[in-house]
Structure 1
Amino acid sequence: MTAAADDTVEPTPTPVPVVNVANALTVFRLLLVPVFLFALLDDGGESTTWRLVATGIFLLAAATDRLDGDLARKRGLITDFGKIADPIADKTLIGSALIGLSILGELPWWVTVVILARELGVTLLRFWVIRHGVIPASRGGKAKTIAQIVAIVLFLLPLPDGFAFAAGTVMAVAVGLTLATGIDYVVRAVRLRARGRRAIAGAP
């Protein structure tokens, strides 16, 4: 072994601080939720101005979801806090919009229940398999999220009645993708857990 090899030392990874711009955006998204609900429910949802404000807040919060993820990956700002808080913030935003629209009588409660049950189930599955690994987001999951956001925006906007069919159609697509990706997630979670258990059993 050469002297140069002896002097080679693996650098110690620098811990990623919890307080960083990516996590700040995640927290900001959570803080926007009550503001969004206030704007949506003000005046019984009948105010055009407040509906536009609510839509703007929702879109701003949804945009931070993409931005904080990109920043965390590009700048190496991924933290355990972010891994937990980011999906919670996403589901809180989507859930609050669905619940708010159902309270106003503009979205059937069964749609809200189906979507929220799926999201809660996926969250529980993440914790169920967390010791065996992380299930990466699929293309279907990303399409589901986009469909949900577009459908919610169509319901939030004070559009003429002629757009009701379009909004309902997009929401139906979102529900279909929600159920399909939920089933896919269950299958992948079961497989991941089974592989993890086999690996543990075969370890010396």
Structure 2
Amino acid sequence: MEVPARGVAGVGDSAGGAAGAGGSRGGVPGESGFGSGAPGVRGSEAGGAGVSVTGVGVPVGEKPARGKKIAAAAVNQASVWNIANFLTMLRLFLVPGFVALMLADGGYDPAWRSLAWAAFAVAMITDLFDGHLARTYNLVTDFGKIADPIADKAIMGAALVCLSALGDLPWWVTAVILGRELGITLLRFLVIRYGVIPASRGGKLKTLTQGVAVGMYVLALTGWLATLRFWVMAAAVVLTVATGLDYVRQAIVLRRRGIAERRAALEETKA
């Protein structure tokens, strides 16, 4: 008599979640450590031979029927209406509010700028928590994979464009930062067929430095604080360029390795 492998599916799914911990929603990994993570290995891939992926009534050593796989996937799919997605949506809704506060009364009123900074700070804080919650409580959804990186780029891009439009930040700084962010995101998708470029510590430090620098520019600072923010932004620009070049190097290496492995596999098949 074969014994059903009850409860084993939980082990497989936990392994999948750990594999996807490089980012927030199981998509292409981001650099903040909380945003846009690498695809996690699902229970059907991590379980291995002799392990049930449905966890209900499938004997050890037997593969579940296709219909049961689909049912299991449906059960494991988190609801779109969860706290992680709520924080992501909050960040998206904060973008127009932030822009309105930044540009209120000509864009130079310290009170309005302080409120804009508060909105920016809330957006940055939610970025730290939504991905962590999604991974920890298995709240990863397709919506979150798409919306999370969009929200990240939207709030940072809005802040940079507003600062440059008001004359507080040179346009070339905004162009360098946004060009790098969009370029690296596109690069990740171009080489994803060969593998995933992992988030580096340099990328996480870059994200943190950018957030601090932009936040300081949003506030109407004067005196030595205004001088300090200039150097913080300079450090952010240097890290932006340096980490961008490093990701390009990693992408080239990953692509070459992937092509070499495919050729080797093709030659082995022919042999």
CA distance in structure 1 between the aligned counterparts of 2:167 and 2:133, rounded to whole angstroms: 38
Q: Which amino acid aligns with 2:221?
A: L
Cα distance change, pair 22–197 in 1 and its aligned pair in 2 (3 A) = farther
The answer on 1:186 being equivalent to 2:185 is no
Deviation, 1:75, is 0.9
Q: Which stretch shows the higher mean deviation, 3-12 or 58-67?
A: 3-12
Q: Which amino acid aligns with 2:238?
A: G
- Unmatched runs of 5 consecutive residues or more in structure 2: 7-50, 55-71
TM-score (norm 2): 0.69
Q: Alignment partner for residue 166 of structure 2, among 93, 104, 113?
A: 104
Corresponding position of 1:39: 101
For the pair shown, the structure with the greater C-alpha radius of gyration is 2
The answer on 1:121 being equivalent to 2:183 is yes
Determine helix, strand or coil for the equivalent of 1:4.
coil
- Name the structure, 1 or 2, with higher relative contact order (CA <8 Å, separation 6+): 1
- Equivalent residue runs for 1:26-65 within 5 Å: 26-65=88-127
Cα distance change, pair 21–198 in 1 and its aligned pair in 2 (3 A) = farther
Corresponding position of 1:16: 78
CA distance in structure 2 between the aligned counterparts of 1:193 and 1:4, rounded to whole angstroms: 45
Corresponding position of 1:77: 139
Q: Percent of counterpart pairs with the same letter?
A: 52
TM-score (norm 1): 0.91
Corresponding position of 2:3: 4
CA distance in structure 2 between the aligned counterparts of 1:200 and 1:167, rounded to whole angstroms: 48
CA distance in structure 1 between the aligned counterparts of 2:128 and 2:143, rounded to whole angstroms: 17
Deviation, 1:5, is 7.1
CA distance in structure 1 between the aligned counterparts of 2:147 and 2:4, rounded to whole angstroms: 42
Deviation, 1:38, is 0.5
CA distance in structure 1 between the aligned counterparts of 2:205 and 2:254, rounded to whole angstroms: 23
Q: Which amino acid aligns with 1:99?
A: V
Q: Which has the higher helix share?
A: 1
